Amino acid sequence: MNVITKLSRKDNRPWAFFNIGTRQGSVMINCYADGYEESGPNIVNEALVIVKGSVFRNQEGVRLSAQEVIPLASNLPGQIKHITWIIDPEKDTESFFYLYREVLDRSRGETTTDIAFKVDGNTLISASTAGSLKWKIVPEDWKKIRDHEAVIGCQIQTQPVVLKEKKRRWGKAKV
């Protein structure tokens, strides 16, 4: 994340814009004064964060506006409801399952899991794991599982995004 802070012209309050990037690309996000007031300390270079906000589309393209920026590590466990791990059966699946079980035993939680095997081109065979095998996602464990040679990818189901109610500093415009 590359962060640039500014002061608003209207009331001289700080706000920021920043880029969040992945291997596939990056997105510019504005965090205006109200959101920045609460989230400012979380908007730092190279931080892993969850961004909640709004998407606006106009003739110039798409614009993202952050209302909340939350540290990923402390909020990830509560956000992810379900993960389907996609496995290559031609790789070392035995060591994957030993690692997976070790992680589950160490960190019980609320996230459920399925395991899917890629059998050809775009075909997956999926199986649910036992309901008792729920885990709490810890970033270090997530990375260990995600980086395992047998893991091709994953599908993630998250909790619905709920935004904090905006506080209006000024009343609605009179028409």
Query: How far, rounded to the nearest angstrom, does the alpha carbon of residue 84 sit from its chain's CA centroid?
Result: 16
**Residues 101, 42: Cα–Cα separation, whole Å:** 33
Tens digit of each residue's pLDDT (9 = 90 or more) over 29-83: 888 888 888 888 888 887 778 888 888 887 877 778 888 888 877 777 677 889 9
Q: What is the CA radius of gyration of the chain?
A: 20
**Residues 8, 15: Cα–Cα separation, whole Å:** 7
As to burial, measured by CB atoms within 10 angstroms (0-12 exposed, 13-18 middle, 19+ buried), residue 138 is middle
**Residues 128, 102: Cα–Cα separation, whole Å:** 18
Res 168 pLDDT > 70: no
Largest CA distance in the chain: 67
The pLDDT of residue 171 is 60
Res 166 pLDDT > 70: no
**Are 168 and 97 a contacting pair, CB within 8 Å?**
no
Tens digit of each residue's pLDDT (9 = 90 or more) over 10-32: 888 998 888 877 667 778 888 88
Res 167 pLDDT > 90: no
Tens digit of each residue's pLDDT (9 = 90 or more) over 140-156: 888 899 999 999 998 88
The pLDDT of residue 149 is 95
The pLDDT of residue 43 is 87
Counting residues of the chain whose pLDDT is more than 70, the rounded percentage is 89
3-state secondary structure of 26: strand
Tens digit of each residue's pLDDT (9 = 90 or more) over 120-139: 888 889 998 888 888 888 87
DSSP 98-115: HHHHHHHHH-EEEEEEEE
**Are 34 and 11 a contacting pair, CB within 8 Å?**
no
* Structural domains present in the chain: 2-74 (2.40.50.140), 75-158 (no CATH)
User: Of how many residues is the chain composed?
Assistant: 175
The pLDDT of residue 172 is 61
